[in-house]
A and B are shown apart, each in its own frame.
Chain A
Amino acid sequence: MIPAKFSYVRPESLDEAVQALDGAGEDTKVLAGGQSLLPLLRLRLAYPEAIVDLTRLGELRGVRDEGGHLWIGSGTTHHELIRDPLVRQHAGLLAQTAATVADPAVRHRGTLGGSLAHADPAADLPATVLTLDGELVVRGPGGERTIPASSFFVDYLTSVLRPAEILTGIRIPKTWGGWNFHYEKFCRTAQSWAIVGVAAAVRRSDGAVAEARLGLTNMGSTPLRAQAVEAAVQSSAPGSHDALRAAAASADDGTSPPSDLHGQADYRRHLVRVLTARALITASRL
């Protein structure tokens, strides 16, 4: 279908973009890669009055080493995340996860910032940013604020972003040096969304897994951490595949997975235990 009419602005700087948003009505949408927004416009599930196009903002692009953390511009595309040398070195899980998103053409345009701001619990990158203890840097009319990923997502398609705020960058702490990663995504056909996904970061010590961080995709209305499994790993230091499987048995604790066309909630609970075990085993290299 043809999208409903809207007015369009394409600011050349971040200040200009914030101003444009501040002056506009509540019914204004920011446009990044458009790979979530354009399908919604075409199905007329969204019909904003105005669109502020961020694609010309150089300030939202690039990846920088800022000492204690990596700064990743919100406009970094999935395609760029997969290839960026700094991302691969300090946040390999992000590159790995981005490679599972959609297909090459979508990855050429879709952005990390768009994926987080959209806050779809079925999206892959939010769980990974949550796993890596990422922080989201946001600019609005009142200035800048930094929000930990753990308090950014509120509900299905809802984050703490205010209407006139723009997500400018994502900070990933550079503390992942000795860790190994794996993103385990379960879907039935190519190019589809995760029925369930598990992001795993694992640190080994003395031939066993000393610590693990786990993020879950599509196990509730927001991305979640599998805290019970993280605690089980911490206390039992699993050194075998069986021990990792035992730790993964509590992966569905505290989750509230949806029932939909792709699977019932109890099926997702089963899946998340199996996939968490697989993710831990692969990441542990045991």
Chain B
Amino acid sequence: MPRVRTTVDGVTYEGEVEARLLLTHYLRDRLGKVGTPIGCDTSNCGACTVLLDGMSVKSCTMLAVQADGSEITTIEGLDGQAAASANGEAAGHPVQKAFREFHALQCGYCTPGMIMAAVDLLRDNPDPSDTEIREGLEGNLCRCTGYVNIVRAVQSAAAELRGTPS
């Protein structure tokens, strides 16, 4: 069986995998990274989005062997120091915090993928317009929110990341 060596959320893993194992199943079933959900069978929904060497990919549309030698970030590793900070303020990446603050989720199923796609979008374009946010997130479907609060959350996170709070 082929071997795969990846760094996932800062930890290096190595082992044999079946060639047909999808990256998303590798993350969930082998590494226990169940923060990354699977929402469809057609590569459309984006729920499974992770960062592969910093760029968003649909982890259901890759073989685990194709990630060999790569660095992967899932929603679970987005915030390096995931524990709550000393003053009791909830921790999280600015995009995670903004999703919470702006009520950018209802059932939450799309949220991990939506946040990963948003992080990738802001890396590429730190000051996006509302239209650019909608286009940047077009590979991520949300059946609950109607997207309005998601766009607001991403705008707010963008401002925070730029150091100009809105």
Contacts and interface: CB of A to CB of B under 8 A. Distances in A.
A22 interface: no
Interface of B: 2, 18-20, 22, 25, 41-44, 46, 49, 52, 55-58, 60-63, 65-66, 117, 120-121, 134-136, 138-140
A43 B41 contact: yes
Given A103-B46, A108-B55, 17 more contacts: A3-B20, A5-B18, A5-B20, A8-B2, A10-B65, A35-B43, A39-B43, A42-B41, A43-B42, A51-B19, A79-B55, A103-B140, A104-B121, A104-B139, A105-B49, A106-B61, A109-B57
Nearest to B124: A104
Contacts of A2: 20, 22, 25
Given A4-B20, A8-B2, A39 B61 contact: yes
Interface in A135-155: none
Interface residues of A, number: 30
Interface string A1-16: 1111111101000000
Nearest to B45: A191
Contacts of A31: 63, 66
A105 B57 contact: yes
Contacts of B117: 104-105
A105 B56 contact: yes
Contacts of B43: 35, 38-39, 42, 106
Contacts of B55: 79, 108
A145 to B, nearest CB: 29
10 contacts: A8-B63, A10-B65, A34-B61, A38-B60, A38-B63, A53-B65, A103-B140, A104-B139, A105-B57, A106-B43
A8 to B, nearest CB: 3
A103 B20 contact: no
A261 interface: no
Nearest to A107: B139
Interface of A: 1-8, 10, 31, 34-35, 38-39, 41-43, 51, 53, 55, 79, 102-106, 108-109, 190-191
A105 B25 contact: no
A8 B139 contact: no
B41 A1 contact: yes
A34 B62 contact: yes
A8 B52 CA distance: 21
Contacts of B140: 103
B56 A39 contact: no
A105 B66 contact: no
A42 B138 contact: no
A7 B19 CA distance: 7
Contact of A38 (B46, B61, B138, B139): B61
A42 B22 contact: yes
Contacts of A8: 2, 19, 63, 65
Nearest to B56: A105
B19 A42 contact: no
Nearest to A1: B41
Which 9 residue pairs spanning A and B have beta carbons closest together? A103-B139, A8-B19, A190-B138, A105-B56, A3-B20, A38-B61, A191-B138, A103-B138, A108-B55
